[in-house]
Amino acid sequence: MIVTYVYADTKEEWNCAEWRCSVPARAINRTGTHKAYMIDIESFVKRSDAIDQICAESDIIVIQRNLFGPVLATIQHWKAYEKTVIVDFDDAYDLMPAAVKNYEFWIEGVQKRRGLDNRVVAQKIDPPPLTQFKWGLRLVDAATTPSTRLAEDWRSFTSIHNVPNYIELDRYIDVKPEAHDWITIGWGGSLTHLQSFKDSGVLSALRRVCLQRPNVRVMICSDIRIYEALNIPEEQKTFNPWVAAVDWPSQLAQFDIGIAPLAGAYDQRRSWVKALEYLVMRIPWVASDGPPYHQMRSYGWLVNNTPNAWERILLDMVDHIDDYKAEAAGEPYLYGIGQGIDENIEKVLSTYSTIINNGKN
């Protein structure tokens, strides 16, 4: 099978494209019997002889999220040539809180760009991308998503298949943590989680834990707004800026305890990525109780979103960290490495085959 992934992430925001396009593409090429291409969405739309050749020889074209504007016309072009075209998305665009960076774009149709004079110019998209996204779902042959809740939400628009985020194990397995005399509670992620921290109760819990346990440090990676929202002594919190995917496991290795707060309907449509990374790194973790982590509840700790619930488990983990780490290195670790992309790529390809065959029936 030949699969072409059309990625939408820019270099500055590279995250979803890594999990949903790059990781499976590399695994497909490692099989030796299948082939995958990666092309950026702008090149897909502009087209060229080289891009057209790639798409023409592909059995399936997988477009990352951006079903709007000229992308829709390009999809129609390839469907006219009887190509199977699907969309992959991992976000609840219709449920985005206003605090999320891309809310203006998806909901209000406001796109901001820098002009030649370096000033930010706002451009109105009419109809808004969310409306066009719904049109696009009816145009493609099917959709894939890592969230079962997202699949349920959008099933009336198109055929939707669940494809989990599988992990590229080689990046994580041999990364060793640096020795330190304190206990680090850590989190890292995209710029869509501020509301998760504010509404889950974890901010208050982290403050209480730090006041009671001076040997605790909180490390926040990527989103400075979350770091600034932490009302704890400066010497007990650390901020690390965004790093490329290849460097992320080295930051993750500094966590002694991982957290994954969720809050609201938007967060209930997330994937299991954070918990999965903790598992393969043998990091004990605690998360908000919600659909993204239900499948992993036997391998971590899920809590109700109250400061007391978060505080209680975090204090227990801090006070018995060696026991929790020993447990994380057992069955949780084994489950995590069972979710490697190379071990599961045939499941992904089987899903693609199903979509292709359904289109021929």
pLDDT in the model for residue 361: 65
pLDDT in the model for residue 177: 85
- Is 78 found in the same domain as 175? no
pLDDT per residue as tens, the chain (361 positions): 999 999 999 888 889 999 999 999 999 999 999 999 999 999 999 999 999 999 999 999 999 999 999 999 999 999 999 999 999 999 999 999 988 888 999 999 998 877 667 777 888 999 999 999 999 999 999 999 999 999 999 999 999 999 999 999 999 988 988 889 999 999 999 889 999 999 999 999 999 999 999 999 999 999 999 999 999 999 999 999 999 999 999 999 999 999 999 999 999 999 999 999 999 999 999 999 999 999 999 999 999 999 999 999 999 999 999 999 999 999 999 999 999 999 999 999 999 999 999 977 6
How many other CB atoms sit within 10 Å of the CB of residue 49?
7
- Is 261 found in the same domain as 234? yes
- Is 288 found in the same domain as 250? yes
**Partners of residue 219 on adjacent β-strands:** 186, 238
In a domain, 237, yes or no: yes
pLDDT in the model for residue 174: 86
pTM for this prediction? 0.95
In a domain, 109, yes or no: no
The CATH number that applies at residue 247 is 3.40.50.2000
- Is 158 found in the same domain as 227? no
pLDDT in the model for residue 72: 98
- Is 281 found in the same domain as 193? yes
Place of tokens 């943590």: 177
- Is 187 found in the same domain as 322? yes
In a domain, 122, yes or no: no
In a domain, 308, yes or no: yes
- Is 285 found in the same domain as 145? no
- Is 140 found in the same domain as 221? no
- Is 188 found in the same domain as 145? no
In a domain, 179, yes or no: yes
- Is 247 found in the same domain as 352? no
pLDDT in the model for residue 116: 66
In a domain, 218, yes or no: yes
Are 72 and 139 in contact, with CB atoms under 8 Å apart? yes
Q: Which domain holds residue 84?
A: 2-95+131-166+342-360
In a domain, 112, yes or no: no
In a domain, 34, yes or no: yes
**Partners of residue 230 on adjacent β-strands:** none
Give how many domains the chain has, as a whole number. Answer: 2
- Is 146 found in the same domain as 233? no
- Is 176 found in the same domain as 138? no
What is the SS3 string spanning the chain?
A: CEEEEEECCCHHHCCHHHHHHHHHHHHHHHCCCCEEEEEEHHHHHHCCHHHHHHHHHCCEEEEECCCCCHHHHHHHHHHHCCCEEEEECCCCHHHCCCCCCCHHHHHHCEEEEECCCCCEEEEECCCCHHHHHHHHHHHCCEEEECCHHHHHHHCCCCCEEECCCCECHHHCCCCCCCCCCCEEEEEECCCCCHHHHHHHCHHHHHHHHHHHCCCEEEEEECCHHHHHHCCCCHHHEEEECCCCCCCHHHHHCCCCEEEECCCHHHHCCCCCHHHHHHHHCCCCEEEECCHHHHHHHHHCEEECCCHHHHHHHHHHHHHCHHHHHHHHCCHHHHHHHCCEHHHHHHHHHHHHHHHHHHHHC
